[in-house]
Amino acid sequence: MPSDANPKTAPGDPKRSALEKSPEDIFECRQCGECCNGYGGTYITPKDIAAIAEFIGSDPDRFVTEYCQMSGSRPVLAVGENGYCLFWKNKICTIHPVKPRMCRAWPFLESVVADPNNWRIMSSMCPGIRTDASNAEIIRCVRRVVESRRETE
C-alpha cells in the first residue's frame, strides 16, 4: 500500500511546535510495494467497497466476489499468485485514487498511538518508516495525523 506522499499534517501545520517531528521526519514512502505483498493484510470498509467497485466499473457484490478473500467474517483484498494485491501491477497501485482507507492511512495508524512498539514492528516490513525518533515523538506525530484525518472523514 504505497502511502500518500503528503499526509494531512504538513510541516507547516500550526498545531505542531517547532520541536515536534513532522510526518516527513519519520516516514518517507520508497514506493517499494512491500506493503502490497502478502495475504490478509488489507481490510476494506463498506465505503472502500463502494468506491472501488464504482472505480473499476463493477458493483459491490461482484467486486467482493471477484477481488476479495474473507479473513474471518471480514473481506480483505485478494492477492494473486505472485503474492501481491490484485491491484498492484507494474509496480503501481491501479486503484490509487480510491485505495482502501487502510492503504491511505499507512503507517499513521491508531494502533501506533495506542502502542508505539507497533511503529517499530511495522518498520521491519516498511523501509520508509524511520525508527530514530523517540516513542513520545512518534506518538505525538502520528496522533496529529490521525486526528487531522478524522476531521476530514
The CB density around residue 53, as the number of other CB atoms within 10 Å, is 19
Minimum CB distance to ligand SF4 smaller for 106 or for 119: 106
DSSP line for 68-110: EEEETTEEEE-B-TTSBBTTEETTEETTGGG--HHHHHTTS-H
CB of 82 to ligand SF4, least distance (A): 12
Minimum CB distance to ligand SF4 smaller for 40 or for 139: 40
**Which one among 126, 138, 145, 146 touches ligand SF4, defined by CB under 6 A?**
126
CB of 118 to ligand SF4, least distance (A): 14
By the 8 A CB rule, do 22 and 142 touch?
no
Examine residue 23 and tell whether it contacts ligand SF4 (CB under 6 A).
no
Task: Say how many CA atoms lie within 13 Å of 69 toward its Cβ.
Answer: 12
| Binding string, residues 71-110; x marks residues near ligand SF4 by CB under 6 A | ------x-------x-xx----x-x---xx--x--x----
